[in-house]
Amino acid sequence: MPVVLITGATSGFGRAAAKRFAQAGWSLILTGRRAERLAELETELKEQVPVLTIKLDVRDAAAVSQALAELPQEFKPLTCLINNAGLALAPEPAHKVDLKDWHTMIDTNITGLVNVTHAALPLLIEAGAGASMINLGSVAGQWPYPGSHVYGASKAFVEQFSYNLRCDLQGTGVRVTDLAPGMAETEFTLVRTKGDQAASEALYRGTTPLQAEDIAEQLFYLATLPDHININRLEVMCTRQAWAPFAIDRD
């Protein structure tokens, strides 16, 4: 039975991915910081497939290493790692942002990604041909916009880290993909605005954004491609989102 490890599984893309992979009969290792949500998800899915939930902050390198080192034998090796844990904060202009918000994004989106990847690589390599690492990037890693500052920069790291891992993993059979969604209706904006429900609703009002299930479907597609195929980067936008003109400062 194939095994998938999903970080940040308590909401959004991670939660939807857990349900999609369970539907296909994959064993699940689900991590997140909210124990009650992990418990709910385990209760929902454990009748379908084996489920292991781990309360985990990906920023804690020692805890990540210990959790993966202590995986039960039935959850090894890893067929797929979905590095989904991440967040955006502080949509204000850079000069108005609290430095702590920048540090939180770096610690989660970059350091957390590195921590999990380093601990999981031996398990992916053990699985060999057809194993996949899928890193959740963003269109913000490729296309700058006001208020993206460190968030966009962190997702550019995800892209380059993924490409460079591809080089190092050549010959192991392990695939690496940067999956870069555009606007998607999840808790993303609610977290970014620190609970501003009105701001979250305003962003999605009157359009048709991506849903978490749309990205879960792409994750499953990437993880189940024939062994000889690696999609390096997959950028996905809703049809009603596109690029804006250059901004011009005028007198």
Question: Which of the residues are catalytic?
Answer: 151
Residue 233, CA distances (Å) to 106, 141, 150, 181, 218 in order: 21, 11, 21, 11, 12
Contact between 136 and 86 (Cβ < 8 Å): yes
At 38 the three-state DSSP class reads helix
Phi, psi at 119, each rounded to 5°: -70, -30
* Torsion 49-55-57-61 (CA) sign: negative
Contact between 58 and 74 (Cβ < 8 Å): no
Task: Round to whole Å and give the CA distance between 232 and 176.
Answer: 6
